[in-house]
Amino acid sequence: MFNNLTQRLSHSLRKIINKGRLTEDNIKDTIREVRKALLEADVTLSVVQTFIDNVKKKAIGYEINKSLTPGQEFVKIVKNELIVSMGEKNNSLNLSIAPPAIILFIGLQGVGKTTSLAKIGQWIKNKYKKKILIVSTDIYRAAAIKQLQILSKQIEVDFFESSTNEIPIEITKKAIHHAQKKLYDVLLIDTAGRLHIDQKMMDEISAIQTLSNPIETLLIVDSMMGQDAVNMAKIFNKKLFISGIVLTKTDSDSRSGIALSMRYITGKPIKFIGTGEKLTSLEIFHPERIANRILGMNDVISLIEDIEDNVDQSQVQTLTKKIKQGHNFNLNDFLIQIKQMQKIGGLNYFIDKFFKQNSSSQNISFSNMDKHALNKVEAIISSMTPKERLQPVIIKGSRKRRIALGSGTKIQDVNKLLKNFDDIKRIMKKIKTGGISKIIRGIKNILPKKF
């Protein structure tokens, strides 16, 4: 569902993520591409406009976190705005009421309402160990009652029998009475759908809602309907009390704009998404996780958060200042950077996070790199004298033997480190002008694959 939007937004944001500074021009260009990506994903125009206005307002003049580049900060702003658009936090089902807790399922015909009821029934049973009863009030669709009965057996919950000869409101009364008498914890009520919204349908559902007084009324929405689904949700929301939304068929090639539009248009949270035809294909809707999925940057964003939490910013600023002023990058600086890298999980952690999302660099392989390489390099540098760290050029034969012996490594390892130290100095110079891919490509050869 989110593939197309992910590709467009990832392409747009990767152009700016490594920018050393944000200007009105590069913000303008990126925002234009973000707007286009949202519109192509069928996000409602009013939602797009609000989204873009909020991103602009937060990006221009924003105080940049000292641990991030302005480009990275901009990505976080976009991510946070996506989360706000979709509801900020997950809103789980509210079952805190004297039993039976009644949940009403409403929606148009063909949106997956009956199957969604079964999926959620199974989820409640597994998660909360509740005693559940389900009932169908759909006397209009052929075999609707039979379908729900079959599903009830598959998920192993009780089914309250009804027939097409009964009136929906009477079925509801009987089901509630039975649930109370038999001490059921939860009653799930399936209602009839229509091919289009009509007054008769809305009156019937309204009567069932008034009688049953459900703790939750879930609107089931087909994600493939696009803007039609948004318009339908507005009508339902106007005429009935809706507590949440369930998006179905999100495993399809449908546009993902509906996920961004629903919360804004209805003011109601998306609670679940159906991810396939199996009864286990149901996910709780977590706005933050979905935002990361849409951005295609789950790992990049978590890496940014790790940097914020673990890196000593004073040391980073000192090194940056030295490089800008043209001072030499020495082995003391190199050791500091290794220790900083270890705080966020080591070099392999960084590489895994970055390259998992950077498909353009999949040809670069780090699989043979010794996971303890950073520790061993630190041991070599620690075995050097202060003068040797400042002036690696003085490290010759006898010094190399002493360093190798002191670090528990071989002379060849010391030679390789010194040989490649020139590479790291060249890479540091590229930080101003080169992208992250160039820097990582260079780092690949700095550390020996095996000691």
CA distance 104 to 1: 26
C-alpha distance across the termini of the chain, in Å:
46
Considering the entire predicted model, what is its pTM? 0.62
Place of tokens 């050869």: 445
CATH superfamily of 311-443: Signal recognition particle, SRP54 subunit, M-domain (1.10.260.30)
Residue 20's pLDDT band, with cuts at 50, 70 and 90, is low
Residue 383's pLDDT band, with cuts at 50, 70 and 90, is very high
Domain edges within the chain? 3-88, 101-285, 311-443
Name the class of domain 3-88: mainly alpha
Q: Quick one: pLDDT at residue 10?
A: 64
CA distance 45 to 289: 24
Residues 138-180: tens digit of each pLDDT: 998 878 999 999 999 999 999 999 998 999 999 999 999 999 9
Q: Is residue 273 scored above 50 in pLDDT?
A: yes
Higher pLDDT, 190 or 427: 190
Residue 215's pLDDT band, with cuts at 50, 70 and 90, is very high
- Do residues 451 and 409 lie in contact, with contact meaning Cβ atoms separated by under 8 Å? yes
What percentage of the chain has pLDDT greater than the value 90? 26
Q: Quick one: pLDDT at residue 210?
A: 95
CA distance 25 to 299: 28
Residues 104-141: tens digit of each pLDDT: 999 988 888 999 999 999 999 988 999 999 999 999 88
Residue 36's pLDDT band, with cuts at 50, 70 and 90, is confident
What percentage of the chain has pLDDT greater than the value 70? 66
Query: Bridge-partner residues for 132, per DSSP?
Result: 186
Mean pLDDT taken over the chain: 77
Q: Quick one: pLDDT at residue 26?
A: 66
* Range in 96-110, 229-243, 401-415, 437-451 with the lowest mean pLDDT: 437-451
The average pLDDT across 179-205 equals 89
Residues 276-308: tens digit of each pLDDT: 888 888 888 888 777 776 775 554 444 455 555
Q: Indicate the burial class of 56 (C-beta count within 10 angstroms; 0-12, 13-18, 19 or more).
A: middle
Higher pLDDT, 321 or 412: 412
CATH superfamily of 101-285: P-loop containing nucleotide triphosphate hydrolases (3.40.50.300)
Q: Mapped to the 3 state alphabet, what secondary structure does the chain carry? A: CCHHHHHHHHHHHHCCCCCCCCCHHHHHHHHHHHHHHHHHCCCCHHHHHHHHHHHHHHHCCCCCCCCCCHHHHHHHHHHHHHHHHHCCCCCCCCCCCCCCEEEEEECCCCCCHHHHHHHHHHHHHHHHCCCEEEEECCCCCCCHHHHHHHHHHHHCCEEECCCCCCCHHHHHHHHHHHHHHCCCCEEEEECCCCCCCCHHHHHHHHHHHHHHCCCEEEEEEEHHHCHHHHHHHHHHHHHCCCCEEEEECCCCCCCCHHHHHHHHHHCCCEEEEECCCCCCCEEECCHHHHHHHHHCCHHHHHHHHHHHHHCCHHHHHHHHHHHHCCCCCCHHHHHHHHHHHHHCCHHHHHHHHHHHHCHHHCCCCCCCCCCCHHHHHHHHHHCCCHHHHHCHHHCCHHHHHHHHHHHCCCHHHHHHHHHHHHHHHHHHHHCCCCCHHHHHHHHCCCCCCCC
User: Binding site, residues?
Assistant: 107-114, 190-194, 248-251
Q: Is residue 368 scored above 70 in pLDDT?
A: no
User: Binding site for GTP, residues?
Assistant: 107-114, 190-194, 248-251
The highest-confidence range among 84-93, 189-198, 323-332, by mean pLDDT, is: 189-198
CA distance 47 to 140: 36
Q: Is residue 53 scored above 80 in pLDDT?
A: yes
CA distance 136 to 99: 19
Q: Is residue 359 scored above 50 in pLDDT?
A: no
Higher pLDDT, 339 or 274: 274
